[in-house]
């Protein structure tokens, strides 16, 4: 039961972030902040986001919304990973975020179990 509440809270947070920042589709190339280094001792909050894929305009807009919300200007260091429709890739990304000791991990799960 606790898992369902946690999932519901994450889903609500994701939806709220998207609603607050807008979801206008902007066909731009995705700039990944993960290509730059996070400075130890930096005041930026490190956020890791694993998205299941980019199969639709909605997903593209959702990714853009996350990137705009968790920008360096807003005090965040954003790590983005596209799992390419595979749960294994998403699990690898989450493990990578844990090993990098990110402050927050956000993801949209493919399945509720396993």
pLDDT number for residue 112: 72
pLDDT number for residue 98: 97
Please report, for the domain that includes residue 20, its CATH number. 3.40.50
pLDDT number for residue 14: 55
Residue 103 included in any domain: yes
Residue 113 included in any domain: no
Residue 72 included in any domain: yes
Mean pLDDT by runs of 10 across the 114 residues of the chain is 52 50 34 50 88 88 94 95 92 96 90 70
Residue 42 included in any domain: yes
pLDDT number for residue 31: 35
pLDDT number for residue 34: 43
Q: What angle do CA 80, 27, 97 make, to 5 degrees?
A: 0
């Amino acid at each position: 039961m606790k898992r369902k509440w946690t999932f519901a809270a994450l889903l609500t947070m994701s939806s709220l972030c998207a609603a607050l920042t807008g979801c206008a589709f902007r066909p731009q190339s995705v700039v990944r902040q993960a290509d730059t280094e996070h400075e130890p001792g930096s005041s930026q909050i490190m956020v890791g986001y694993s998205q299941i894929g980019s199969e639709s305009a909605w997903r593209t807009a959702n990714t853009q919304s996350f990137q705009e919300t968790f920008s360096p200007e807003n005090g965040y260091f954003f790590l983005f990973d596209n799992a390419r429709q595979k749960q294994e890739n998403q699990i690898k990304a989450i493990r990578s975020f844990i090993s990098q000791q990110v402050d927050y991990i956000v993801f949209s799960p493919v399945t509720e179990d396993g």
